[in-house]
Structure 1
């Protein structure tokens, strides 16, 4: 989905008096049950992904989103650094979901606290969270894509 289509969708969402969740669900299936993912974030994810079938694995999807951490070794410490590559709009949408989950909506807060208990700094823990969210988004989109293809196959069979 281009920026213009995302903006048009956001304008349509703003103009409607009724909740836009059912409208988004009719377009993109089950992308919004991810805690912390709003309507505009889901639209951005779906539009920028342009079909999850393009990615061979969740690791390839994470690389595309720029959430795959890059390992850095220095002496005895093993750390990861920020991946500056990937799709920045998609990375931004995943980051906003991570920030929302870190503040207590969804499993992100528990994940960050567990990593901090293991010795990571808060910055490192929050930096790792979008990768986990990317995996959840990939699974959700993959499930939705499979369901949509089965539905279209069924409709074609019924039409024949």
Structure 2
């Protein structure tokens, strides 16, 4: 039996669907609501159906909720992966996008990993981390703006605007602390996640924020099990650029990375090399050998990832104790 393929172009209010069935293509547009999605999918409940969609963050939530009632083969595709695979294309609309998602999954299904529902506590953790990061970004922008108010002194607005700015910063700080307490409560309420965090934090430089982020990104080490793949995802693995004997460049990091995760890993690496541990010894040794400091620091980030996955796999705490140098 040939499988039916449904491609879904997701937006906040509607879903544009392209259905390839018996070599025929059908289109439909429905509301992005659980009731509407379930009603549409019931027509395919008794068939071998593949469903594919882009990962659009929160706009996918109603689809995920509806899919829990079915046993379809589901693929959630990275928008970047999809756009890079299209090659030279002309024109774009929601109907075409839905069809392209169908065609993408037909061609690349063997290389894709099927979507699995995420545990509720992991979903909550990821949402809270997203909310925390949003507030930290806003706080950073507000703090950067404080120096600009000096320029408004002649207008007599500097003190008033600075006071309002500081009020916003204080409010954000309270919200961030509240979110962090909620994140900690989620971790503490799940023995498996609690154990994972305790193990991760035994590694030099790894604190609460990185441990929360790693658990969220890996979905409790169920989404990623290979440290190299996760290191590639984080953007800390250099790739070669070489063709024949005439084209060669030094290995460089890929631009396609989770920049938020990479930034947190950078802070962890900076912290690790200030402590008395094997990562610091490695860093000092390589720098003395003449290696570029940023290149060595990136290697430290990579080593932190591999250590995290190793201790989770072996369920053994890191042996090198954190001692201030």
Structure 1 residue corresponding to 2:284, chosen from 102, 107, 113: 113
Q: Measure the CA separation in 2 of the matches of 1:78 and 1:109.
A: 29
Whether the 8 Å CA contact 2:232–2:257 is kept in 1: the answer is yes
Aligned partner of 2:254 in structure 1 is: 83
Q: RMSD across aligned C-alpha pairs, in angstroms?
A: 3.5
Q: What is the CA deviation profile of residues 62-116 of structure 1, one whole-angstrom value per residue up to 9, with x for unaligned ones?
A: 11221112235699x9743233222222222211110101222533221111212
Aligned partner of 1:154 in structure 2 is: none
Structure 1 segment 3-152 matched on structure 2, within 5 A: 3-5=127-129, 7=132, 11=178, 13=180, 23=188, 26=191, 27-29=193-195, 30-55=199-224, 57-71=226-240, 79-104=250-275, 106-144=277-315
Paired residue total: 139
User: Which structure is richer in relative contact order (CA contacts within 8 A, separation 6 or more)?
Assistant: 1
Please report the TM-score for the alignment, with normalisation by the length of structure 1.
0.67
Whether the 8 Å CA contact 1:98–1:129 is kept in 2: the answer is yes
Q: What is the CA deviation profile of residues 96-148 of structure 1, one whole-angstrom value per residue up to 9, with x for unaligned ones?
A: 1101012225332211112123331212211221111111122233345xxxx
Please report the TM-score for the alignment, with normalisation by the length of structure 2.
0.36
Unpaired segments of 5 or more residues in structure 1? 145-160
Moved over 4 A (4+): 12-15, 72-75
**Greater fraction of residues in strand:** 2
**Greater fraction of residues in helix:** 1
Q: Measure the CA separation in 2 of the matches of 1:25 and 1:122.
A: 39
Whether the 8 Å CA contact 2:225–2:309 is kept in 1: the answer is no
Unpaired segments of 5 or more residues in structure 2? 1-124, 133-174, 316-325
- Select the structure of larger CA radius of gyration: 2
